[in-house]
């Protein structure tokens, strides 16, 4: 067996080249045909034969069969970008008005690096590795779409791993690997509430039923679902991200719409928050002589890491970067990740590869100036490849 760590370092130039190509040509949501074609070409070059295109519209799966007997391991990378106009000024900046502002370009390149090493080491690879390149992570729709296209079958997976790079977590710094047992990321749900009343003149509010007033009351009241009805030791978020109502200073409009996101770390809290939001909004509207239409959209569940797989991931990471550079992430994040849909069905581990740029200001994910440190991408490839060689 080749030395995975040394081979991954050698491959980093290639990994960076792949990342830059994808970075220059970002695609969003399910509309990722160029990225799909690029991935398929690279996998074919590596001599990987069992490639399936068009899974979850423009996702790709591929199976690398080891020559030793064993179980099936899944590895997932998300491949979608964002509708953000890039302002990094990088030589390989986006050319089409969209942007890889979350690092998913690096995720694709890292998994291609892993695939290359595994294809080179088929003789020593136990079982099989199923590569999953998934579109549409940013709106939590890609994983369910791939699942309904059969990604969990033929063959079914015994474990699954994946990573996020960038600067999402506090604690670990560039060159380290962060992991966490149990819940790592929040359930992500969405709501839109339309308050309906009766429009009229701003000078005669008593002749109208004011939907803006209802929305204002509801805005305050729904915060008490977190502050008064959720245990202070439990984490929950309800954010109202938009309020839209009215058209002129002296007009009371007929409706006002609020929308936002709900985050929670367990199923019970998750169900309670949605249910109470609905009841509170409807109740406030009714008490103010109007009505509320509540639309709830269910996103990704909480992301839960399996203890046994996480143990093995931690060991694989330590053998690549050393024990001292592997660290437990102290707290879950209220950010969401649709890898959670896979982890609901298959035990596994989603881990973190920090890659903050060494110089200049560090911009957050989804920012037009977001960038990452490419020099550590090989670590992601090496940890995943080493895990595949040693986990069973």
**Where does this chain bind Zn ion (CB under 5 A)?**
102
Tokens 């709106």: give the residue: 139
Pick between residue 38 and residue 370 the one whose CB is nearest to Zn ion. 370
Minimum distance between the CB of residue 335 and Zn ion, rounded to whole angstroms?
A: 8
Minimum distance between the CB of residue 300 and Zn ion, rounded to whole angstroms?
A: 12
Pick between residue 115 and residue 339 the one whose CB is nearest to Zn ion. 339
How far is it, in rounded angstroms, from Cα 324 to Cα 253? 61
Minimum distance between the CB of residue 182 and Zn ion, rounded to whole angstroms?
A: 21
How far is it, in rounded angstroms, from Cα 206 to Cα 220? 23
Pick between residue 9 and residue 367 the one whose CB is nearest to Zn ion. 367
Question: What's the distance, Cα to Cα, between the start and end of the chain in Å?
Answer: 16
Structure tokens at 378: 């090989």
Pick between residue 202 and residue 364 the one whose CB is nearest to Zn ion. 364
Structure tokens at 277: 């939001």
Cβ-proximal residue to Zn ion, closest one? 102
**351-367 burial code (b ≥16 CB/10 A, e <16):** bbbbbbbeeeebbeeeb
Pick between residue 61 and residue 136 the one whose CB is nearest to Zn ion. 136
Minimum distance between the CB of residue 79 and Zn ion, rounded to whole angstroms?
A: 11
Pick between residue 102 and residue 329 the one whose CB is nearest to Zn ion. 102
| 8 A C-beta contact, residue 266 and residue 182 | no
Minimum distance between the CB of residue 43 and Zn ion, rounded to whole angstroms?
A: 22
Pick between residue 140 and residue 230 the one whose CB is nearest to Zn ion. 140
Task: Report the phi/psi class of residue 320: left, alpha or beta, with left for phi > 0 and alpha for psi in -120 to 50.
Answer: alpha
How many Å is the maximal CA-CA distance in the chain? 82
Minimum distance between the CB of residue 75 and Zn ion, rounded to whole angstroms?
A: 16
Pick between residue 142 and residue 253 the one whose CB is nearest to Zn ion. 142
How far is it, in rounded angstroms, from Cα 32 to Cα 55? 11
**Residue 361 per-residue DSSP state:** P
> Which alpha helices (DSSP H) does 300-345 contain, by range?
307-321, 339-345
Minimum distance between the CB of residue 340 and Zn ion, rounded to whole angstroms?
A: 12
Structure tokens at 207: 């002749």
Tokens 């939590």: give the residue: 140
Minimum distance between the CB of residue 366 and Zn ion, rounded to whole angstroms?
A: 6
Tell how far CA 193 is from the center of its chain.
25
Cβ atoms within 10 Å, residue 250: 7
Give the Å distances, CA to CA, from 158 to 123, 269, 301: 21, 29, 20
Minimum distance between the CB of residue 165 and Zn ion, rounded to whole angstroms?
A: 9
Beta-bridge mates of residue 195: 256, 292
Pick between residue 102 and residue 145 the one whose CB is nearest to Zn ion. 102
Give the Å distances, CA to CA, from 375 to 15, 17, 203, 265, 363: 10, 12, 64, 33, 18
């Amino acid at each position: 067996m080749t030395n995975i760590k040394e081979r991954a370092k050698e491959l980093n130039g290639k990994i960076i080249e792949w990342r830059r190509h994808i970075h220059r040509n970002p695609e969003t949501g399910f509309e990722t045909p160029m990225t799909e074609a690029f991935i398929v070409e690279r996998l074919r070059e590596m001599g990987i034969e069992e490639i399936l295109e068009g899974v979850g519209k423009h996702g790709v799966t591929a199976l690398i069969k080891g020559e030793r007997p064993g179980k099936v391991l899944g590895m997932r990378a998300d491949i979608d970008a964002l509708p953000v106009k890039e302002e990094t000024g990088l030589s390989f900046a986006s050319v089409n008005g969209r942007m890889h502002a979350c690092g998913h370009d690096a995720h694709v390149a890292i998994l291609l690096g892993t695939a290359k090493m595994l294809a080179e080491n088929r003789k020593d690879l136990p079982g099989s590795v199923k590569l999953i390149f998934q579109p549409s992570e940013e709106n939590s729709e890609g994983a369910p779409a791939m699942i309904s296209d059969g990604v969990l079958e033929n063959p079914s997976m015994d474990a699954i791993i994946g990573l996020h790079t960038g600067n999402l977590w506090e604690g670990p710094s560039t060159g380290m690997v962060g992991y966490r047992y149990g819940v790592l990321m929040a359930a992500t749900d969405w709501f839109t509430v339309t308050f309906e009343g009766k429009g009229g003149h701003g000078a005669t509010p008593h002749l109208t039923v004011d939907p803006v007033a209802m929305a204002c009351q509801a805005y305050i009241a729904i915060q008490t679902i977190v502050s008064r009805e959720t245990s202070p030791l439990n984490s929950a978020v309800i954010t109202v991200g938009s309020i839209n109502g009215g058209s002129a200073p002296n007009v009371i409009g007929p409706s006002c719409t609020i929308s936002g996101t709900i985050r929670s770390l367990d199923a019970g809290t998750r169900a309670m928050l949605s249910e109470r939001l609905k009841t509170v909004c409807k109740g406030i509207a009714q008490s103010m002589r109007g009505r509320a239409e509540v639309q709830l959209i269910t996103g990704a569940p909480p992301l839960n890491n399996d203890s046994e797989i996480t143990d093995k991931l931690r060991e694989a990471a330590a053998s690549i970067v050393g024990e001292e550079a592997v660290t437990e992430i102290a707290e879950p994040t209220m950010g969401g990740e649709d890898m959670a849909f896979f982890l609901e069905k298959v035990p596994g581990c989603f881990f973190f590869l920090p890659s903050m740029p060494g110089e200049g200001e560090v911009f957050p994910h989804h920012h037009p100036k977001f960038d990452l440190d490419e020099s550590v991408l090989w670590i992601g490839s090496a940890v995943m490849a080493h895990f595949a060689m040693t986990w069973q």
